[in-house]
Structure 1
Amino acid sequence: MSQTRISQLLPLLASMVAITPLAIDMYLPAMPIIAKELGTSSSAIQVSLSLYLAGYALGMMMFGPIADRIGRRKVALVGLLGFIATSLLLAFSESINQFLSLRFLQAAFGSGATVVVPGIIRDLYKEHTAKGLSYVSLIMMVAPMIAPGIGSVILELSVWRTIFLSLAGYAILILLLVLWKLPHGLPLRSDRNWLHEFASNYKLVFSHPASRLNIISSMMGSFGFFCYITTISFVYIEYFGVTEGKFSILFGANVVALMMTNIINTRTVERAGSARMLMIGTITANIFALCLVLVTVFGWPLYWTVGALFPLIGSLALITVNSDGLILNQFPQQTGTATAVIGTLRFGSGALAGPALGLLFDGTPLNFAILMFTSVLIVLIVQLIRHRLQLT
């Protein structure tokens, strides 16, 4: 496929992946209003976020192997159609039970639209899959930055239901672009029955020694990032006492770190290889995670924490993107299943971040620093094992 064709597809693929952060973040400003209109508590509405993550993870587990069987384009179309339908129904939901059920289904269908993207990128970039993943991550990173703002603007101009109508409209646009631009591709031909193939694909992914170690690396890198997302407002606003305006600047700085790292990866991964870039990210992350622990233990000022987090957060991107690239290259015929494994464990580890932080909480960011260091230390250990055993 020509470079021009690839460059045309990348924005579409990023837009497909962006469905998830948009669906998660756009309605956050409307949570109190939704609770009031549906006659329930704010905590009940907050459950919808956990249900979304659960529905997304379970949806990936189902749609990943199906994409390997019937083809990615068909699964993407089914996922988008389901996402559109559930978004429209959410806009007209009248009870909390209806709202929660529809959010779960919205997430499950949304996963069908996103689970196919890494496999398509793998087909486009082959052994340089991590480069394509970095490009898509770079483009779609805009979504979580602007989604809450979009939700707030909609609330200023209209009602909360318009947020879900807007999500449906966005998905309709993506559906039309998928019909127009997304290549059909070839499904995996197999004479085995669906259930046997479903199980055997998962067994294949988990039975490969190098794959297991890279899955752990991806999962722990994601765990560290979810720890950051979960606790960073406490660290900056409550512990260090910064204003909300300054918090936005500091948070944005770490988004810049993620973007810079992805740009660096796109420029160097073809020459250096994903395995080397993964190790560079792992070593860098361990150095600055240890610095974060020391800064917290000794109670040094805010700018020391900011200085440690900037390269640490950027390094997490190197870990996850290159781990994912190595996993996908290992299973060219089972990319849907491999993506489902990555995504399910990623969101599963994210769900554990909150309880783990709460268990270690002592009124300071020490719990955050310890968990960040532990997560990247585990990545370093498994990558040293992979290197020692010379697994590829």
Structure 2
Amino acid sequence: MSKTSLAANKLIFLLAAIIATTPLAIDMYLPAMPIIAEQFGSDLSHVQQSISIFLFCYAISQIIAGPLADHIGRRRLAFIGLLGFSFSSYMLAMTDNIESFLIFRSMQALFGAFFSVVIPGVVQQIYRENTAKGMSYLSLIMMMAPLLAPGIGSILLQAHSWRAIFIFLGVYAMIMVLLAMRFLPDAPKPTQRRRKRDILDGYRIIFSNKKARPFLMGTMMSSFAFFCYITAIPFVYLEYYAVSVQAFPFYFAFNVSFVILANIINSRLSVRFGAVKMLTFGMFFGACVAVLLCLVTWFNMPFIYTMLLLGPLMSSLSFIATNSDALVLMRFKEHTGSAAATIGALRFGSGALAGPLLLVLHNGTPLPFTLLMLTALVIVVLTRTKQTKVVV
């Protein structure tokens, strides 16, 4: 392994640690929600709304942060984001009412997008033509955050109080600031012509590029299918199939393990076969598994078939999302901030549709959930097959 490759592999741990700040902020305080609601004299539903508010503000902020990363530099934007996130976390630890809590959660999300949006550009810069490999490494390491976050939150809650969770997040962000000052590289200096361009120029270039649209659709639809899973799986497992609360985390972890496995496979095979071929494999494989899953739910087959098929289906979504993201980033090397922001906005924007659609289509069975996932994969296949030859 060359010194350059070794340095890149070391840096990816820092990048994953920085971007993991966001899933930590989303998942770490989940065990404390009832206590927070009780201390604020508020309904639990109001505290739960802080998740939706966080995701909405995070998606909107990415649209602003992407061009800023291209214009003022990645390092500067990352520092602003991490410092603002740390400040917001400390303020959350001092709030005593639900209104202030929601305001500072919004600020936390807005600043969180600032440093999150720069990371894909750094991955593209250091891995270049092997961006898909770098994105797989990033996803693989980052997957540990949502798995560990609720447990860390529970420990802090038992050791002190819910406020310790947000103090932890503030300290974590400050540690990331110190590490970023030492190791985070900046983007190459823009040309004079590049500096004069309008801040929205990157978005115009991205959305007007016809060759990039299938990859953007892959990012959007795979995320939509993933959020369908996240939204529906508690009902599917706990209510419809009557899985016990104690067993639910193990089945959930079983499905998530396939996402981790897919990232390991993709990090190795994307270098050999290329991101386009890995994306093509993921979408056709996923469509086949989704058809089988729809048949299982249509004929009301036993739980074991649904559980076993969901794992491979989740792995296919990982193949699609990781390689689609990489192909978009490689296509817009001079607009990586805007490209990363576009990916993030499409991901969270499409994901926001999952809950309302599942609510409208709900019929007391898992069928609407499986049909929506199949529909998403069919859209990816149809969009991709219209453009069989893509030059990256």
Using structure 2 for the length normalisation, give the TM-score.
Answer: 0.97
1:347 corresponds in structure 2 to 348
- Match of residue 55, structure 2, among 48, 53, 56: 53
1:267 corresponds in structure 2 to 268
Q: Tell me the amino acid that sits aligned with residue 221 of structure 1.
A: S
Instruction: Decide whether the 8 Å contact of 1:68 with 1:187 is kept in 2.
Output: no
TM-superposed CA distance for 1:200, in Å, is 1.2
Q: Could you tell me how far apart the structure 2 residues matched to 1:308 and 1:7 are?
A: 33
**For the structure 1 residues 193 and 264, does the alpha-carbon distance in structure 2 shift closer, same or farther, using more than 3 Å as the test?**
closer
1:4 corresponds in structure 2 to 6
SS in 1 for 2:386: helix
Instruction: Decide whether the 8 Å contact of 1:290 with 1:373 is kept in 2.
Output: yes
> Are residue 279 (structure 1) and residue 267 (structure 2) matched?
no
RMSD across aligned positions (CA): 1.3
TM-superposed CA distance for 1:245, in Å, is 2.5
Q: Could you tell me how far apart the structure 1 residues matched to 2:317 and 2:150 are?
A: 24
- Match of residue 126, structure 1, among 117, 128, 131: 128
Q: Could you tell me how far apart the structure 2 residues matched to 1:249 and 1:27 are?
A: 20
Q: Could you tell me how far apart the structure 1 residues matched to 2:390 and 2:113 are?
A: 34
Instruction: Decide whether the 8 Å contact of 1:72 with 1:187 is kept in 2.
Output: no
> Are residue 368 (structure 1) and residue 369 (structure 2) matched?
yes
2:67 corresponds in structure 1 to 65
Unpaired stretches in structure 1, ≥5 consecutive residues: none
1:212 corresponds in structure 2 to 213
Q: Could you tell me how far apart the structure 2 residues matched to 1:345 and 1:208 are?
A: 16
TM-superposed CA distance for 1:184, in Å, is 2.9
Q: Could you tell me how far apart the structure 2 residues matched to 1:163 and 1:190 are?
A: 45
SS in 2 for 1:75: helix
1:326 corresponds in structure 2 to 327
Q: Tell me the amino acid that sits aligned with residue 32 of structure 2.
A: A
String of CA shifts for 1:276-302, please: whole Å, max 9, x gaps: 100000001000000110000001001
TM-superposed CA distance for 1:337, in Å, is 0.2
String of CA shifts for 1:232-289, please: whole Å, max 9, x gaps: 1111111111112221111111111011110110111011111110000000100000
TM-superposed CA distance for 1:46, in Å, is 1.3
SS in 2 for 1:347: helix
Count of equivalent residues: 390
> Are residue 314 (structure 1) and residue 315 (structure 2) matched?
yes
Instruction: Decide whether the 8 Å contact of 1:67 with 1:187 is kept in 2.
Output: no
Q: Tell me the amino acid that sits aligned with residue 41 of structure 1.
A: D
- Match of residue 83, structure 1, among 67, 82, 85: 85
Q: Could you tell me how far apart the structure 1 residues matched to 2:372 and 2:88 are?
A: 37
TM-superposed CA distance for 1:33, in Å, is 1.2
Instruction: Decide whether the 8 Å contact of 1:70 with 1:187 is kept in 2.
Output: no
Indicate the percent of aligned positions where both proteins have the same amino acid: 45
Instruction: Decide whether the 8 Å contact of 1:282 with 1:380 is kept in 2.
Output: yes
**For the structure 1 residues 93 and 384, does the alpha-carbon distance in structure 2 shift closer, same or farther, using more than 3 Å as the test?**
same
Q: Could you tell me how far apart the structure 2 residues matched to 1:235 and 1:46 are?
A: 21
Q: Could you tell me how far apart the structure 1 residues matched to 2:192 and 2:308 are?
A: 53
TM-superposed CA distance for 1:185, in Å, is 3.2
TM-superposed CA distance for 1:191, in Å, is 4.9
String of CA shifts for 1:319-348, please: whole Å, max 9, x gaps: 000000110001001000000001011001
Instruction: Decide whether the 8 Å contact of 1:80 with 1:113 is kept in 2.
Output: yes
1:99 corresponds in structure 2 to 101
Q: Could you tell me how far apart the structure 2 residues matched to 1:126 and 1:216 are?
A: 22
Q: Could you tell me how far apart the structure 1 residues matched to 2:270 and 2:194 are?
A: 37
Q: Tell me the amino acid that sits aligned with residue 383 of structure 2.
A: V
Q: Could you tell me how far apart the structure 2 residues matched to 1:345 and 1:109 are?
A: 19
TM-superposed CA distance for 1:186, in Å, is 2.2
Q: Where has structure 1 moved over 3 Å in runs of 4 or more? A: 189-194, 389-392
TM-superposed CA distance for 1:17, in Å, is 1.1
Q: Tell me the amino acid that sits aligned with residue 358 of structure 1.
A: L
Q: Could you tell me how far apart the structure 1 residues matched to 2:341 and 2:97 are?
A: 32
Unpaired stretches in structure 2, ≥5 consecutive residues: none
**For the structure 1 residues 53 and 190, does the alpha-carbon distance in structure 2 shift closer, same or farther, using more than 3 Å as the test?**
farther
SS in 2 for 1:245: coil
Instruction: Decide whether the 8 Å contact of 1:91 with 1:164 is kept in 2.
Output: yes
> Are residue 299 (structure 1) and residue 270 (structure 2) matched?
no
1:111 corresponds in structure 2 to 113
